Amino acid sequence: MFSIEVRDLKKSYGSLKAVDGISFTVKQGEVFGLLGPNGAGKTTTIEIMEGLRERDSGEVKILGLDPWKDGYEVHKKIGVIPQDFTFFEKTTPKEAIKYYANLFNVKVDADAILKEVLLNEMENHVFESLSGGQKQKTGLALSLVNSPEVLFLDEPTTGLDPNARRAIWEVIRKLKTKGKTIILTTHYLDEAQQLSDRVAIMDQGHIVAMGNTEEIIQQHGSGERLEIHGNQQLAEYIKANTELQVEYNKVKEKIIIPLKKKIDMLAALAAAEQSGIPWGEIQTRQDSLDDVFIKLINEPLDEQEEEGIEQKLNKKGRR
């Protein structure tokens, strides 16, 4: 049974195709990450799933219901934290939970929910006095009031400091163990990797890769490679004395050798030892999700890859 089915979903704003024919399904109890730079179409996608936006075409079923037409029914069964969650300034988290519970006409233990989202010590502070992380936790708390089957978290940790992010992660992990289906958008790779069972990488309205982390790396990554810390002379020596393909990264002073077979590693190391040229640290590496992400996102790379992803993502921001 799929909690969520999306087929050939399209949505344009004027001439901008925000979402351009994406399809995916999410199983019950799964944590599904929509990963992509700003402007990739993540929020549009998630808002269509939440019934907050009307789609142009395609099919969307949330727990078997159309979120736009059956919004009222769908909203009883889902929990949502919108991007940049805000609430009434002068209302405390505890009052907010009671407010939601009364609107949904359900009985809840406000203290238990506050504890669940690690917010119990701030229950009587008004919303405007809370920190960014505490505000997000209030959002999480509210999204839990109606005991939803599906949770939509739109960039739940954007703009938070590392500690606050980790705290939110902890809460999300706890929810996962309770069997909630969770859709999460993020532009943080580590967040997607840490929390999701499966990830869809979105770019310019398309899904460019989908699966669990290993699957994506396998499909789109470049396989295993050996990296030797050393000078260019050594790189040339290895190249001349083996049949291996050798690249040299001047900035990092790294000799990079893609490994077709495990045995290639021995040949490379033997050549290095033979050369008499000193060499340092060795490691074998596979493309990480970061590498794949950079490769898939449709923009030429910066020279300084290291500073990398974060900067690049911000630059791409369209909305």
Q: Using CB under 8 A as the criterion, which residues of the chain lie in contact with other proteins when the complex forms?
A: 47, 50-54, 71-72, 75-76, 78, 80, 82-91, 95, 99-100, 102-105, 126
Q: Which is nearer to other proteins, 32 or 87 (CB)?
A: 87
CB 23 within 8 A of CB 57: no
Taken in order 68, 73, 77, 83, is the CA torsion positive or negative?
positive
- Closer to other proteins at the Cβ: 53 or 206? 53
- The amino acid at residue 15 is S
Q: Minimum CB separation from other proteins for residue 87, in Å? A: 7
> Using N-to-C axis directions, what is the helix angle for 308-316 and 289-296, rounded to 10°?
30
**Using CA atoms, how far apart are residues 106 and 111, in angstroms rounded to an integer?**
15
Write down the least CB distance from residue 55 to other proteins, Å: 10
In the complex, least distance from residue 49 CB atom to other proteins, rounded to whole angstroms: 12
Label the pairing between strands 282-285 and 254-258.
unpaired
Question: φ, ψ for residue 40 (rounded to 5)?
Answer: -75, -20
**Tokens in use for 223?**
């396989």
Q: Which is nearer to other proteins, 8 or 54 (CB)?
A: 54
- Least distance between other proteins and beta carbon 319 (Å): 13
C-alpha distances in angstroms, 208 versus 148, 214, 249, 269, 309?
Answer: 30, 15, 28, 37, 17
Question: Closest CB to other proteins among 70 and 224?
Answer: 70
Instruction: Map tokens 């040949």 to a residue.
Output: 267
Q: Smaller CB distance to other proteins: residue 57 or 219?
A: 57
Among residues 151 and 297, whose Cβ is nearest to other proteins? Answer: 151
Burial (0-12, 13-18, 19+ Cβ within 10 Å), 58: middle
The dihedrals phi and psi of 131, each to the nearest 5 degrees, come to: -75, 170
CB of 8 to other proteins, least distance (A): 19
**Residue 261 per-residue DSSP state:** S
Q: How far apart are CA 144 and CA 108, in angstroms?
A: 10
State the nearest-atom distance from the C-beta of 104 to other proteins, in Å: 6
Q: Which is nearer to other proteins, 86 or 219 (CB)?
A: 86
* Minimum gap (Å) between residue 262 Cβ and other proteins: 53
